[in-house]
Structure 1
């Protein structure tokens, strides 16, 4: 009897251990598949959603609350004139292939990002760098052309992660980083699998492995969550079903904010859209709340410029482009555009596809016809973002505090205003918080005055997860599914 009891206890123990081991795995749902896995060579948010803080790391990083904390750099100092940053690296950091990560890799990564031939989607983050020097294997010094109080913030972006020259060529398909997880397999069109990096230099994650499952259809996403095929969907594409999950104790609904300014982007250099009156007319034809209710089921905050409402420097300029269809018609008449027809390219996200249909109807009500084309992300990136072959498109810009993109003359909506470029140049050289705040407010006002784009809403972060999962980000200070603090609880 005693032996039998021991055997029974051992069996229970083995079952319990197996159960606990199973809870070290997680399946994360994603609406979009990344086009590649190199955040330094692609603009798609889905890249960072897989690799940021999981596979790749930078000198600094975003914490869940949006603050900037140490990453590969354990500390840094800035000179009195604000032009020289000295970063001290963590000791004992290795890449996934076992090679050491040191100051030479930092120099290589920053020099590559700022090089003339760089394909980095956020190359502007690095243009202020004049020189990168290796002081010793664990110390790197970055000299800037002018003071930049936002430099640690810039180094936290996914576009600023550190890669090794030996493996950078394969980063798009076989990324080798320093993060707590490493790539196991990418089954195109289906999933990406990662596993815990047992040689990680920092605190080991609770998860042993994770699978990112690509499910673009909202109905399929709902079914996958209900069936348990997916454990969490941090950016759930079917907000109309959130109430059902909220009422079910097996799940929890997590609603937070993002850095995603969702806009009706206009090609400022395309025919009639070069006229500010036409752009203004379009903005007054937009009923933001109707789009938020119809496409996002009430989730989203109206915006009147390219700035997040949760940012302390936000200016509410929604009234300046308030819904006023009669004013819209008047402006079109003044511009001589009473029979206007424009192309509207809609990428895959539901906010774009659903919102685009509503917006097309709103434009039709003021006399603007649209030719809608639904495009996949690869086509959108090639045709719209790179080729600038479009009139209108709907997209959410999820990069943090990125109003500086309006200073880029080659950016896809082609604003190219010298006064705005000068304003951003002054902002970059300013370190005083109050002065920076004033400049940021002026920047918001300028692009609103020029009706560069139709500013729609701040994208909400609506997520669904198994109730036993803890550590998923509530808010999204950057475009990431950071799994470093995620774990299962009983």
Structure 2
């Protein structure tokens, strides 16, 4: 017998159930790398920003999904005619997650801390042009520069420039306190980081009540987690050979976007024999980029010949500077006095582009007489051994910071590269605001790096985004290393 339920009765049943028509408000995001800690002002790992940028911490400005500079804690700003003074008007009614009132004093503390002599900020150069920070009144900050800086507002949108409270800054690595629309809930080491909605957020409330960033290090674990629904989205999916299978499944949306990730065979230029240009040129000639891309885990990527994104208007295609030529590589090694070959180490962090691509590169270099001992390292060990202590010969890593060609001018950077002509160009670029002139300088800088074969320039890392087809608001591209959940929601 067919039972007909009156409309009003059906509605009552739905309301009684509580969840019949409720929109989902939680999400599980898969990430490959676990952050070493959760303070973006005290670490270089992109995995930190992926979790906390725009979600938990905010800066004066922020970088949007297409790389544009947007207001954040500063609702507006004025720039003096000489380009030296920036006056920021701050939002009122902003609170930190511990309930403390946000004011101009927090901005002054954060910027002064970042540029201090003993600063541990991984991008201290972002603040080098700042001469003075004045908390003019509770909602006004005046920043004076020592020289005009065309990228200043952009720089203030980096994760390294977020605003923190003096009262809680020391504990942000483990229990971060920001002003963002989400607040920290818990961190199960090796498993996940959980954020929950901030009910006292000053701006537009987010749709999600809970967001879990689950650490899923490889395709073998990622694929079943996605297919079973345990993980709803992988903004950077380690899909491997299963990408085609996922693309054919209408339960998921697959978006191949771009990143700022210049993937490099980094070389220790300060260590023999890699301090010899001929040796680095030999390495460059030994690299078959197409083969490396095919074997990097996803089979996707755009070849690069210098440290710049092909999506940038200032990009110069320099992939033919040292074309693939194994015989030329052998001759260069012989000319440098290494006819019998070279032995070296290759330290590989966990991402597939490194672990899988490293096998291909080791094989290519072996063909020209460079024998590499492959040493797999965990991400924390890579940061300490390679990035900090410079204890390496070669390594593979993607540099995902935006417009970061200036890293080659830093005297203590892990490449151990020194070139005064390059440094002069970067200094001029830093003080130039004219777009046409900046692009010209970017081109000169790219050419110097390519000709010096500072590292093995491999490819621009693709962003393989995979998520539940009902999930809206995910970023298609990665102009910065962030998984911004502020606009993410489930379709009604």
Question: Which whole-Å CA distance do the structure 1 matches of 2:21 and 2:379 have between them?
Answer: 39
1:119 matches 2:120: yes
Give the alignment of 1:37-56 within 5 angstroms: 37-56=38-57
Matches within 5 A, 1:133-282: 133-282=134-283
Hey, what's the Cα distance between the residues in 2 that align with 1:360 and 1:262? 16
1:239–1:462: 8 Å Cα contact kept in structure 2? no
Picking from 429, 432, 437, the partner of 1:430 is 432
Which of the numbers 358, 365, 368 marks the counterpart of 1:366?
A: 368
Give yes or no for contact 2:239–2:298 (8 Å, CA) kept in 1: no
Q: Which residue pairs with 1:34 in the alignment?
A: 35
Q: Would you say how many aligned residue pairs link Structure 1 and Structure 2?
A: 489
CA contact (8 A) 2:330 2:368 kept: yes
Aligned-pair distance for 1:356?
Answer: 0.3
- Residues 188-227 of structure 1, C-alpha deviations (whole Å, 9 max, x = no match): 1111111110111111111111101001021110010001
SS in structure 2 at match of 1:272? coil
What residue in structure 2 maps to residue 289 of structure 1? 290
Change (3 A) 1:425 1:325: same
2:454 aligns to what SS in structure 1? coil
TM-score calculated relative to the size of structure 2: 0.97
Q: Which is worse superposed, 320-329 or 391-400? A: 320-329
Moved more, 379-388 or 241-250: 241-250
Between 239-248 and 400-409, report the one with greater CA deviation. 239-248
What SS is found at the alignment partner of 2:76? strand
For the residue of structure 1 that corresponds to 2:62, the secondary structure is: strand
CA drift of 1:91 comes to 1.1
Q: 1 CA distance for matches of 2:234 and 2:19?
A: 25
* Structure 1 runs, 4 residues or longer, greater than 4 Å off: 1-8, 19-22
Partner of 1:396: 398
- What is the deviation of 1:22? 6.1
2:187 match: secondary structure: strand
1:263 match: secondary structure: strand
What residue is the counterpart of 1:357 in the other structure?
Answer: 359
Q: Secondary structure at the match of 1:222?
A: helix
Deviation at 1:14? 3.9
Distance in 1 (CA, whole Å) between partners of 2:23 and 2:256 is: 27
Structure 1 pair 99/20, CA: closer, same or farther in 2 (3 Å)? farther
Unaligned ranges ≥5, structure 2: none
TM-score by length of 1: 0.98
Give distance in 2, aligned partners of 1:54 and 1:139: 24
- Distance of 2:300 and 2:4 partners within structure 1: 61
Deviations 1:159-206 (A, max 9, x none): 000000000010000000000000111111111111110111111111
Following the alignment from structure 1 to structure 2, what is the Cα–Cα distance between the partners of residues 154 and 465?
30
Distance 1:394 1:402 in 2: 17
8 A Cα contact 1:410 1:416, kept in partner? no
Q: Deviations over 1:61-95 (max 9, x none)?
A: 01111111111111111111111111111111110
Deviation at 1:6, TM superposition (A): 4.8
Separation of aligned partners in 2, 1:450 and 1:200:
49
Asked if 1 retains the 8 angstrom alpha-carbon contact of 2:196 and 2:211, the reply is: yes
Work out the CA distance in 2 between the residues paired with 1:389 and 1:149: 35
For the residues of structure 2 that align with 1:2 and 1:127, how far apart are their CA atoms?
73
Closer/same/farther in 2, CA of residues 154 and 211 from structure 1, 3 Å limit: same
Aligned-partner SS, 1:427: helix
**CA-to-partner distance for each residue in 1:243-279, whole Å, 9 max, x for gaps?**
1111111111111000000000000001100001100
CA contact (8 A) 2:136 2:142 kept: yes
1:2 CA drift (Å):
11
CA displacement at 1:434 relative to structure 2: 1.1
5 Å matches for 1:270-349? 270-338=271-339, 339-349=341-351
* Residues 12/433 of structure 1: CA separation in 2 closer, same or farther (3 Å cut): same
CA contact (8 A) 2:316 2:446 kept: yes
Tell me how far 1:13 sits from its aligned partner.
3.2
Secondary structure class of the residue paired with 1:185: strand
1:439 aligns with 2:424: no
Displacement of 1:10? 1.4
Give the superposition deviation at 1:7.
4.7
Q: Which runs of 5+ in 1 are unaligned?
A: none
Partner SS for 1:459: strand
SS in 2 for 1:175: coil
- Cα gap change, 1:22 to 1:3, in 2 (>3 Å): closer
CA distance in 2, matches of 1:83, 1:8: 66
